[in-house]
Structure 1
Amino acid sequence: MSSEMPAIDRLGVAVGLRTLGALDMAELAQAAERTGLSRFVAMEAWRETIVPLSACALRTERIGLATGVMQVFPVNPVMVALQASELQELSGGRFTLGLGVGAAFVVPRWFGVPYEKPMTRIREFLEIVRGVHESAGSSPFSYDGELFGIRKYSLGDEPVRPVPLHIAAVGPKMQELAGELADGVMVGALHSAEHLGDVRERLAVGAARAGRAAAGIEISYHLVAACDQDGDRARSLARRSISYCTQYPHYLKRFAAEGFGAQAEQIGQLVRRHENDSAEAQVTDAMLERFAVAGTPAECREQLRPHLSGDAVPILTLFPFRVSEQEVMASHHLLLKELGTLGA
């Protein structure tokens, strides 16, 4: 087989950390930029995303920067619009705002906010962020929604740089909303060629509703990527990340659609009982092959081939679930070093 590799300039990398700080994330963003990747994504989990991405903006020059994703329940859309426009200014036009509704069992527990009317909330959120940005250099923005009301807000006398708006959308209704209103859609960590075809169909439905073309809407997905000189260790890390996904109802539906419903249910039960070693052991080779890139640097490079030949954007991710943050960073850096040998 040829050693040539498709271009990696549409590949991204995502990281969400608890103890390692903004400058550690900026160091990884620099490495991704040197390698030739297109995007660095800050994942919102234990840290918010704007401060780390500000550090990344100051330490990089070309790579795109994105939130992946900012949850809409605990924040205000006008303030988010301001943060996005300022980060777009700071980065010189390299920022993409990724938004999502989060998980129903996480939002009340972590943020003290009822998880109510998620579709309405993210629709109004998108419309307000876009409206606030369009108010700059134009007429004041007002909005009379079900959840939000804005009266004559103006961002200023000068136009601001446009900020692409992407939303996290695993289910069909949210994907249709992305087709209607967003510039891009992030379909999560479980994917297949067939699934991405279904996503395009749902985007087309929403786009038709808005009277626009779906072709320009970007599709991206997280790709669990674990790289280690010890291939078995890398595969163990990837299995831990896949088992992490079984905690979420929306991902259980995706596992079932991909033919892994029974296994995922069983793994999820083990995770909820904190029987994590048993959960990891239940992640099959077929699940690993379908949903991850895992192994030695050379093995990972080979496994990336089909992901780099499609039109959706893979975002390399390793969830820090029973994986130390140092291991996450080491895995990303090792894989970026391998990809850097391509000269892309």
Structure 2
Amino acid sequence: MRIGLAFGDARQQRDLAGIGEQIRTANGIDTAWVTQGPNLDALITLAGASAAGPRELGTAVVPIPQRHPLMLASQALTVQAATGNRLTLGIGVGIARMVDAMFGLPTDRPARRLREYLEVLRPLLRGEAVDHHGETLTAVGAVAIEGAAEPSVLVAALGPAMLKVTGELADGTITWMTGPRTLEEYVVPSITKAAQGRPAPRVVAGLHVCLTTDTDAARARYATDFALSGQVPEYRAVLDREGASGPADVLIAGDEHSITKQLDRLRDAGVTDAMLAPIGTADEQRRTTEFLVTVGR
């Protein structure tokens, strides 16, 4: 199982220069993931941090409703050219409440919209022209950027219909706040079945982590700080499937031995990549990061 670090909105980070420096110095980590929220743009952040750092740079995830596939293909291939083809493009249909309330965009038929989007985006990323006039999307054109290779595409897929489309058309999935039992019994078998006849899909498990000597205090603080996340329908569904009362129940927390056991549980569940977002005090985040680097090595 590859070990990656998450940066950006998932850790309430707003300092572009600081994030870039952390990514450039994240030696020993397989992947630097930048989470996309309403603040820093994940793709631009990665392009600016391209000088050094991990061999893989990923977005987790770029919401697609407000980015036409021609635009996203241009952005992604530009980042590929800027980073020496180290990008893994993570995308998602977005949190429905945000897509509707913030942008006034439709959120119905998410699996149908995702399928059409991928049917257009994948050829564009290969440098092919598209002429698509579908139910939810029109796209005519092509994108060509010298030196840019087609990036791998992962999808934030949690529901059964979304996992089916992802398994058929993408290279894997990125989950968030999804516990090990749900990953083992639901996510991994669902996407693996959908991907039959294709390369085995990547399963990236995104979770917060805190190396601490006071696990109860860390979980209590986390339950307060991320209470709203537990009310988002998309996340609430996987928490319910896990039997978790809230996000704190899936927080990876404890000492070095405990965190290692929790990571082993993810690996045994079929997770191929852990995308870990250190939280806590500045000292706890520093020590957590240092420990994860040793695990990655």
What is the CA–CA distance in structure 1 between the aligned matches of 2:235 and 2:145, rounded to whole Å? Answer: 44
CA RMSD of aligned residues (A): 2.8
Secondary structure of the residue that 1:304 maps to in structure 2?
A: helix
Against the structure 1 CA distance between its residues 219 and 15, is the aligned structure 2 distance closer, same or farther, given a 3 Å change threshold?
A: same
The residue aligned with 2:64 is 72
Identity %: 24
Secondary structure of the residue that 1:41 maps to in structure 2?
A: strand
**Residues 56-205 of structure 1: pairs in structure 2 closer than 5 A:** 56-58=49-51, 60-135=52-127, 140-151=129-140, 153-156=141-144, 160-193=148-181, 195-205=183-193
Residue 341 of structure 1: how far off its partner (Å): 4.6
Residue 63 of structure 1: how far off its partner (Å): 3.0
Secondary structure of the residue that 2:176 maps to in structure 1?
A: coil
Contact 1:221 1:315 in 2 (8 A): yes
What is the CA–CA distance in structure 2 between the aligned matches of 1:217 and 1:46, rounded to whole Å? Answer: 28
Question: Which amino acid letter does the alignment assign opposite residue 169 of structure 2?
Answer: L
Contact 2:64 2:91 in 1 (8 A): yes
- Count matched residues: 293
Against the structure 1 CA distance between its residues 57 and 220, is the aligned structure 2 distance closer, same or farther, given a 3 Å change threshold?
A: same
Unaligned runs of 5+ in 2: none
Instruction: State the TM-score, normalized to the length of structure 2.
Output: 0.86
Match of 2:210 among 208, 226, 233: 226
Contact 1:241 1:318 in 2 (8 A): no
Residue 225 of structure 1: how far off its partner (Å): 0.6
What is the CA–CA distance in structure 2 between the aligned matches of 1:150 and 1:178, rounded to whole Å? Answer: 20
Residue 78 of structure 1: how far off its partner (Å): 0.5
Against the structure 1 CA distance between its residues 28 and 244, is the aligned structure 2 distance closer, same or farther, given a 3 Å change threshold?
A: farther
1:14-59: CA deviations, max 9, x gaps?
123356322211222234x31x22111111113221221112213x
What is the CA–CA distance in structure 2 between the aligned matches of 1:157 and 1:45, rounded to whole Å? Answer: 27
Against the structure 1 CA distance between its residues 65 and 112, is the aligned structure 2 distance closer, same or farther, given a 3 Å change threshold?
A: same
Residue 309 of structure 1: how far off its partner (Å): 5.3
Contact 2:180 2:265 in 1 (8 A): no
Match of 1:37 among 26, 29, 33: 29
Contact 2:23 2:53 in 1 (8 A): no
Question: Which amino acid letter does the alignment assign opposite residue 192 of structure 1?
Answer: P
Contact 2:88 2:152 in 1 (8 A): yes
The residue aligned with 1:245 is 229
Structure that is richer in strand per residue: 2
Residue 183 of structure 1: how far off its partner (Å): 0.5
Against the structure 1 CA distance between its residues 330 and 51, is the aligned structure 2 distance closer, same or farther, given a 3 Å change threshold?
A: farther
Unaligned runs of 5+ in 1: 1-7, 265-282
What is the CA–CA distance in structure 2 between the aligned matches of 1:341 and 1:133, rounded to whole Å? Answer: 35
What is the CA–CA distance in structure 2 between the aligned matches of 1:118 and 1:227, rounded to whole Å? Answer: 37
Q: Which entry has the higher C-alpha Rg, 1 or 2?
A: 1
Secondary structure of the residue that 1:161 maps to in structure 2?
A: coil
The residue aligned with 1:207 is 195
Secondary structure of the residue that 1:155 maps to in structure 2?
A: coil
Question: Which amino acid letter does the alignment assign opposite residue 304 of structure 1?
Answer: L
Contact 2:155 2:173 in 1 (8 A): yes
Match of 2:274 among 287, 308, 314: 314
Against the structure 1 CA distance between its residues 93 and 251, is the aligned structure 2 distance closer, same or farther, given a 3 Å change threshold?
A: same
Question: Which amino acid letter does the alignment assign opposite residue 161 of structure 2?
Answer: K
